[in-house]
Amino acid sequence: MSRFRDRAMRRAVGQAIHHYDMIADGDRIAVGLSGGKDSFTLLWVLQERLSRIPIHYSLVAVHIDLGFEGSPACLIEDYCKKMGYPLRVEYTDYGRQGHSEENRENPCFLCARLRRKRLFELADQLGCNKLALGHNMDDIIETLFLNICYGGQISTMIPYQPFFKGKLAVIRPLAHVDEQAISRFAEDHRFPEFPNPCPTAKISKRLEIKNMLGRLYLTNNKIKGNIFRSMSHIKPDYLLKPASRAES
């Protein structure tokens, strides 16, 4: 069964990479390594596929330590050393800044913005032209609903997104893989599990959306796939006229 899951994972990642033209020969890719199952899966698949494809690229893992007590940074360093993965660890206080008294209303937004900015800077310092993140199909769907419910707009994270006039591109090779498949894959490969030290990880708006969608998926196993496909099957003629500046 694990061999079947390995093939399914490689196929799904390969399809996403080819569909969005994510990786080219000679790329140097920074891989955001949070310490969760998604980022370990991403790093493993990107490394493994190098032995099977006709192009070459190089990888360097990057971990942003947010400054919370109980950080897994040292454990991540030990694991990457054991596996032979190049790793850069950046120690920050972004988590504490995000949860400061002045920013209690929306700690996740500031923390994520600071982390993303630093990832861009580190990718540049490390000579990388791509930044690979472990967001999966569920993350993309959840972001769509977060933006609808709390941002008043229809948008989500996209699998290939260029920045700085194309100097750097963010890629999400797990875009076609759902969270359950990643969980089974991570279990098969015995990836380490580190608890999330963020104090709001279990009370975030994203978790509310995840739970809402989870209940919806239980009613029909086609709903998740239909939502994901709908984001590339848009009928503008059947959407509302854009609001004017005065109205927005």
Q: Where are the domains of the chain?
A: 2-238
CATH 2.60.40.1930 fits 2-238, yes or no: no
Q: What is the CA radius of gyration of the chain?
A: 19
pLDDT grade, residue 96 (50/70/90)? confident
Spatial distance between the Cα atoms of 215 and 224, rounded to a whole number of angstroms: 11
Percentage with pLDDT > 90 across the chain: 77
Q: What one-letter code names the amino acid at 185?
A: F
Confidence (pLDDT) at 248: 58
**Could you tell me where the beta strands, DSSP code E, fall in 12-126?**
28-32, 58-65, 87-91
- Kindly tell me if the per-residue pLDDT of 138 is higher than 90: yes
Percentage with pLDDT > 70 across the chain: 96
pTM of structure: 0.93
Spatial distance between the Cα atoms of 231 and 12, rounded to a whole number of angstroms: 18
Confidence (pLDDT) at 204: 83
Confidence (pLDDT) at 86: 96
Spatial distance between the Cα atoms of 158 and 232, rounded to a whole number of angstroms: 11
